[in-house]
Amino acid sequence: MRDKPLIVGITGGIGSGKTTVARIFEKLGIPIYIADDKSRELTANHPDIKDFIKKQYGEDLFDKNGDLRRKALGEIVFADKEKLKALNAVIHPIVKEDFKSWAENQDAPYVLKEAAVLFESGTYTDCDYVILVVAPKESRIQRVMKRSGLSRDEILARMHHQWSDDDKVALSDFVVNNEDHSNLLPQIFEIHEDIKRAANSGG
């Protein structure tokens, strides 16, 4: 058994269902760190990120209560690859340090770091294993439209900023097919047992 838990990244394109899959691992007793949620929290509250947004994109991206106008920021950065890259260059190191601190305090054979841009940010290299969740493109679009209120064009723009599934598969240790939820559990149980065995053998 290792002194520290294995770090397992879990990722997938927008609408793939990676958070659903991560929550099932959580039911199996595995601590999960939802990097996208933490990133949103830090983007809105971390002083270094707030200062960067104000200087680069304008003070008016924060309302009179000091709350970040997320949709307005999204419209700016998802329309310009360089602006998105610049923002991520500030956010990702801060999230990385936050995750590291969190992981060191977990008592489990492995922990899951769920992140939409695990590959794009380069943080997959910090993981012992990577799980990729895939689903058909049209299913993903419909899921996101239903839950978010984003238009089809807005969703396609966000997909455009993410790597293709083919590129991700080549760098992943496990692939979960989430075409429909009915076949998820057997795939997850098998991966869970494989990673537990690796952790117990010194992984």
User: The whole model's pTM is what?
Assistant: 0.83
Domains of the chain: 6-200 (3.40.50.300)
Shortest CA distance to 160 belongs to which of 90, 84, 92?
84
Query: pLDDT band at 203, cuts 50/70/90?
Result: low
Question: Given a cut of 50, is residue 125 above it in pLDDT?
Answer: yes
Question: What does the angle CA 38 – CA 41 – CA 45 come to, to the nearest 5 degrees?
Answer: 135
Mean residue pLDDT of the chain comes to 92
In angstroms, rounded to a whole number, what is the distance separating the alpha carbons of residues 203 and 197? Answer: 8
